[in-house]
A and B are shown apart, each in its own frame.
Chain A
Amino acid sequence: MSDFWLHPALILIVGSLLLPVVPARLKKGYLLLIPLLTFLHTISMAKGVFGEVQFLDWTLVFGRVDKLSAVFGYIMSLMCVIGTLYGMHVKEDAQHAAAWLYVSGSLGAIFAGDFLTLFVFWELMAFSSVFLIWFRRQPESLAAGYRYLLVHVVGGISLLAGIVLHCKATGSWAFTSLDVHHPSFAAYLILIGFILNAAVPPLHAWLPDAYPAGTFNGSVFLSAFTTKTAVYALCRGFAGMELLVVLGVVMSLYGVVYAVIENDMRRLFAYHIVSQVGYMVTGVGLGTELAINGACAHAFAHILYKGLLFMGGGAVLHMTGQTRFTELGGLYKKMPWTFLFTLVGGLSISAFPLLSGFVSKSMIVQAGFDHHVLWAAFLLNLASIGTFYCNGLKAPYLVWFGKSHCKPETWERAAEPPWNMLAAMGFTSFMCVFIGCYTPFLYNMLPYAVDYHPYTSYHVSESLQILLFTALAFFVLVKVGKLHPHAGLNIDLDWFYRMGGRAFLWAAKKPIQLTDSFVGELYRLAGLIPLMFSARASGRFDNRVIDGAVDGLAETVRGIGSRLRFVQRGQMQENLAFAFAVTAVLIVIFIFAYNTFAQ
């Protein structure tokens, strides 16, 4: 243990606090410097347990650096560099500060060795990330942000309740693997907190509600940190819990179905976060070394290609003001490089050979086959068809090709984004290719030793067949005229709390207000009128009887007062002496009287 250990999150926190005082001409350099420092520091940290702090009766552990937390720390801090570069031209300091605090929350939760530290950073994530939605400054963003916050507060309460019960039962605050075969009530509460952040249905609706409402660059951050920090927490606490296999497979298909019918580009990508995190959750549920490696590898690859997709979607939003397919189309002439980079993201998420998804996703599917959970493996392959259909084909086709639905002003505005956005997309594209081609880079970082080779002839043949024949089916659908974008909204489970909120408002307006006015009327009739009557009666009594008596009394007092006035001259000492004298006389009288009556 070293005496001094610098938490990487601290660099970002201090960096964001100093942001407003940095001179404007140094700002861009500073914006790159802080995330780079954080990244370099994170990847150079030695393994071990650091930053133990004694607080009251508890031992807080801020720095548990092992292989599992290190791989997540690596990708989170790298994504912070990419995301900041992407939004570097944004002038508002608060947006960068919110993003950095969000990342620091994620890093803090990942390196936390105890539940309390985990919880504090977990909440920091929720409360800082909501600003990335609010800064869009649209009415729907404000509302979506509040819903996001409310849902996360509920998840946070469940997590905290679980933590407290768990620690009371076990006597330890350490964040280690929980008993997944006989989970306690506390473990379930903690699990609810985790899977809410991982957007596992039915607790997922906040994600496709909030992420498309964020700023063009804020959603790039959002797409990376909350769900994958939850995947880390699940890997740490719930590896091997069979329930998660079912939930994971369900969510991988659930996201696909909604993405197929979605009209908004960024919401389509958001539904595919749900779908892709489903693979990771399945991996956690399988719990074998290969599956956990797969979950971590897939989280790593996913953060990059999903960030890339959101960067593509953000670029379209930033440059055209539109994200709906019914308002876009034919943009390849205006934004060809954005198209290419988004396509790389779309092919990576679809697990095309030589791209990142191919080397990561297949580990989880392989683990499913090895574990003889054949249904899960086949259904995950089915989900990957939908993944390619939506991200690799539908979205690029409807935005950059197909029939142009652009309004003249949209078409006029459309152009390639600023250099920093293109650079961020270019670098991320490179990373997707690099990870896909040079497997040791990612595999050597994983928690367990990897004995897995993705590039076997059978696996390549299997993947290419699935993907290319999906493409064939897609173009057949285009050819028969089935692929027109339709304006519309898809109702998801957020309906319940949206309508629940509305029912509450209605209840507040109608029945509660009605009851209130009824009670008011009752009060007026039964209370106020008799009260007024009695008040008038007592008023008359007061006028004639009491006033007479009081006036007489007042007259008497005034008479005495005017005589006493001569005694009272405003001298403090005299007054005190007089008061003491009267007191002394009273005491003497009292003692005499007491003695007389006591005998």
Chain B
Amino acid sequence: MKLARLIEFLRDHLKVVVRVCLVALALLVLLDALPAVVDKEHAHTWVEHVPGFWALFGFVGCVLLFVLSKTFGHFGVTTREDYYDE
């Protein structure tokens, strides 16, 4: 099973993988700030012109959705598994 071995390999070198990913993230925001690379002519609102706006939107949005959903669950929406059993 070659695919499983590839996954094992990546897991064994997790630190390198994480570092590469972080560099990629930084590069992404950097490129977003360069008008020569990312042409924002068709952006619809002024906030979109802020470099890395969507990166912030993604990160904050994810944390927000997680926290809000969990809070929603704690208001009695999440209950025991046999709730509907007689």
Contact = CB atoms under 8 A, between A and B. Distances in A.
Contacts of A337: 3
A469 B44 contact: no
A386 interface: yes
A488 B69 contact: no
A279 interface: no
A490 B84 CA distance: 11
B81 A487 contact: yes
B59 A469 contact: yes
Interface in A313-361: 332-333, 336-337, 339-340
A260 B66 contact: yes
A417 to B, nearest CB: 14
A389 interface: yes
Nearest to A462: B54
Given A456-B39, A458-B39, A491-B83, A389 B62 contact: yes
A389 B56 CA distance: 15
Contacts of A381: 57, 61
A385 interface: yes
A457 interface: yes
Given A261-B72, A332-B4, A470 B62 contact: yes
A458 B43 contact: yes
A257 B58 contact: no
A489 B65 contact: no
Given A374-B44, A491-B83, A473 B32 contact: no
A464 B52 CA distance: 11
Contacts of A498: 84
Interface in B59-86: 59, 61-63, 65-66, 68-70, 72-73, 76-84
Interface residues of A, number: 44
B16 interface: no
Interface residues of B, number: 47
A57 B18 CA distance: 70
A474 interface: yes
A301 B11 CA distance: 32
A209 B52 CA distance: 40
Contacts of A456: 39, 42
Contacts of B31: 461
B39 A457 contact: yes
B41 to A, nearest CB: 8
A473 B59 contact: yes
B20 interface: no
Nearest to B86: A502
Given A381-B57, A469-B56, A261 B78 contact: yes
A176 interface: no
B24 to A, nearest CB: 7
A256 B65 contact: yes
A336 B76 contact: no
B85 to A, nearest CB: 9
A261 B69 contact: yes
Interface in B15-38: 24-25, 28-29, 31-32, 37-38
A333 B1 CA distance: 9
A467 interface: yes
Nearest to A139: B85
A566 to B, nearest CB: 77
A464 B56 CA distance: 12
B57 A257 contact: no
Contacts of A461: 28, 31-32, 37-38, 54
A465 interface: yes
Centre residue among A332, A461, A491 by max chain B CB count within 10 A: A461
Contacts of B83: 489, 491
Contacts of A509: none
A260 B59 contact: no
A491 B83 CA distance: 9
A503 to B, nearest CB: 14
A488 B83 CA distance: 9
Nearest to A505: B86
A477 B66 contact: yes
A473 B58 CA distance: 8
B40 to A, nearest CB: 5
A352 to B, nearest CB: 13
B59 to A, nearest CB: 4
B13 to A, nearest CB: 15
A144 to B, nearest CB: 10
A491 B56 CA distance: 32
A406 to B, nearest CB: 16
Contact of A469 (B3, B45, B62, B77): B62
B62 A474 contact: yes
Given A256-B65, A257-B72, A468-B28, A489 B84 contact: yes
A369 B78 contact: no
Contacts of B55: 465-466, 468-469
A492 to B, nearest CB: 8
Interface string A362-393: 00000001000010010001100110010000
A468 B24 contact: yes
Contacts of A377: 44
B25 A468 contact: yes
Nearest to B62: A473
Contacts of A386: 62, 65
A576 B56 CA distance: 109
Centre residue among A333, A337, A456, A473 by max chain B CB count within 10 A: A473
A470 B61 contact: yes
Nearest to B22: A472
B73 A261 contact: yes
A182 interface: no
Nearest to A263: B81
Contact of B80 (A256, A374, A489): A489
A482 interface: yes
Given A260-B69, A385-B65, A474-B62, A464 B79 contact: no
Given A469-B55, A488-B81, 7 more contacts: A257-B68, A260-B70, A339-B7, A340-B3, A465-B55, A466-B55, A472-B25
The 9 closest A-B pairs by CB, nearest first: A469-B58, A473-B62, A260-B69, A465-B54, A466-B58, A465-B55, A261-B73, A336-B3, A469-B59
13 contacts: A257-B68, A261-B78, A336-B1, A337-B3, A386-B62, A458-B40, A465-B57, A466-B55, A469-B25, A473-B63, A488-B73, A488-B80, A489-B79
